[in-house]
Chains A and B, each alone.
Chain A
Amino acid sequence: MKKDEFKKLYNQEVLKRNKKPYNFDADEEADVVIEAYNPLCGDKFNLYLNKEDSDIKSAHFHGFGCALSKASTSLLMELIEGRNKTEKVEKCHTYLEAEDSGSSKRLQNEVQKVFAEMKNFEGRVDCVTLSWKALYDKMKNDED
């Protein structure tokens, strides 16, 4: 990765969220705690979700990871708070699909589009999908 590419990847949306992540604290009382862990690099976040009926009342996270995984987890928390389960699954699904295909067409959120672009940076996709995958897998398993 060249320097200008680095600066494109570590853009304002990433740096902003890395510095001031959304709801970055450990909510030990949470209804659901999901671990997002990448054993290859050691990045590990806990996602703390509080539910009200089937809605996510609050979403917090805490842990250790690179700027990309931290910022993308922060974005995930911003986007799922106040959503119900179906919306949440759908959100994760379209996002992961976008990361998979490299096409951000189906994404409505502008910031999410920025993250989907990261597909083009070799070796860093795992960072921006870490927590999304963990949440998606957990929700899917719960359905079974």
Chain B
Amino acid sequence: MKNIKDRFPIFKSHPDLIYLDNAATTQRVDKVDDLLDEFNRKDNATIHRGVYELSAKATARYEQVRSKVAGFLGSDNPNTIAFTKGTTESINVVAHSFIKKRLRAGDNIVVTVMEHHANFVPWQALCKEMGCELRVASLTPEGSIDTLAFERLVDKKTKMVAITHISNVLGTINPIEQLIETAHAQGAPVLVDAAQGAALYDLDVTKLNYDFLAFSAHKLFGPFGVGILYVNPEYMGDMQPYTLGGGIIQSVSANEVTFQSYPFNLDAGTPNVSGVLGLGAAIDFLNELNRAECISHTHELANRCVVELARVKGIRILGGTQMQRSGIVSFALENIHPHDVSSYLNGDGIAVRAGLHCAQPLHYFMKEPSTIRISFSIYNADNEIDILIDSIKSLKKFWEQ
């Protein structure tokens, strides 16, 4: 992973920054910045509107990104991909534009207790509205999904299973292939929240067979404000418009309107053209990487971090040593509140996240009122763990004085 850090301009502005909040957002790679800069200066135009050259060119590039994203997920059909504002919006689109009209009172939706609020609250609200049951799959004490309990939750009344690929707090990598099989055996479509995994892990649809996949460009070294939604061709015809307005219309008269079909019925309003092109550049960067090597790098960092943290007295690490862990480690320190910890670490140039990480059900389940989260990416290095551990130790000394 040598020299990869040089590709990230933020570290030129902050050479001493130890950025360990990659689960919240990753830093932007030079390629993305360069592309955005060039587009803004030389190529700016919106899409599907003008026949003039700039607009035609922007349209072609925008549609190329659709193909690129489809290819990235192993699909040869670019029209499986819709662009949204982020993972959150992608999930809300599925909740409202797909599943809502299929729900009848007495049906159920299955999620897990480790979901980010983005993949929990939309289903909870929908179930309340439609008189359906939200079934929440529990975890083992280790922090893995209890697959047997999960199997018992899914039945013929299950209209949707929504699961995260990787927990944004525990770092657990879920056996989604197995969970998808369980759901499909009962005829339930599956949405995978891939926000945490899409950058480095292989999410090939031909192997995993998910029905919906949601992720965000800003967690793949790309720009803010762009999300991706993959929809299985089998369900594309059922996708209704989400926001109404221009850009999605087939024809409209005083009394009638007909819409374009998915994915073009989700692009209401002027889309985030530069953001989508930036996403394209981010995917080019991911395709350049040896992703297997990146995964072992982040796993090694997280595993070593767990070992070193466990040596600090009064620390509680969320999740066990047996579970499959990505580059994420969350913990709590006896007698020192997470916010006080992150404020102190900040003094040593270390950026970590403190709080509930948009995962309150998980924190209740784990009986932790709040935690500190460390999340590694490809540009982090071993010596940063040493600095982190030293800083935690010196905080403890200061606190106990």
Contact = CB atoms under 8 A, between A and B. Distances in A.
Interface in B352-388: 354-356, 360, 363, 369-370
B301 to A, nearest CB: 25
A2 B338 CA distance: 17
B340 A64 contact: no
B391 to A, nearest CB: 10
A67 B355 contact: no
Contact of A127 (B339, B344, B348): B339
A93 to B, nearest CB: 27
Contact of A10 (B340, B348, B360, B370): B340
Contact of A66 (B337, B348, B360, B399): B337
Given A42-B370, A65-B337, A6 B355 contact: no
Contacts of A5: 347
A1 B347 contact: yes
Given A7-B398, A15-B399, A42-B355, A1 B343 contact: yes
B370 A64 contact: yes
B343 A6 contact: yes
Contacts of A66: 337-340
Interface string B320-356: 0000000000000000111110011011100000111
Interface residues of A, number: 22
Contacts of B344: 6
B338, B356, B370: which has the most chain A beta carbons within 10 Å?
B370
A109 to B, nearest CB: 24
Interface string A81-92: 000000000000
Nearest to A44: B369
Contacts of B336: 67
B314 to A, nearest CB: 14
A6 B340 CA distance: 9
Contacts of B343: 1, 6, 9, 124
A41 B369 CA distance: 10
A134 B337 CA distance: 21
Nearest to B399: A15
Contacts of B340: 10, 66-68
B399 A41 contact: no
B370 A3 contact: no
Contacts of B370: 41-42, 64
B339 A41 contact: yes
B337 A6 contact: no
Nearest to B356: A42
A48 B380 CA distance: 47
Given A7-B398, A41-B355, A64 B369 contact: yes
Interface in A7-34: 7, 9-10, 15
A40 B369 CA distance: 13
A65 B370 CA distance: 9
Top-5 shortest CB links A-B: A3-B347, A66-B337, A66-B339, A64-B369, A42-B370
Given A42-B363, A42-B370, 7 more contacts: A1-B343, A2-B347, A7-B398, A15-B401, A43-B339, A64-B369, A124-B343
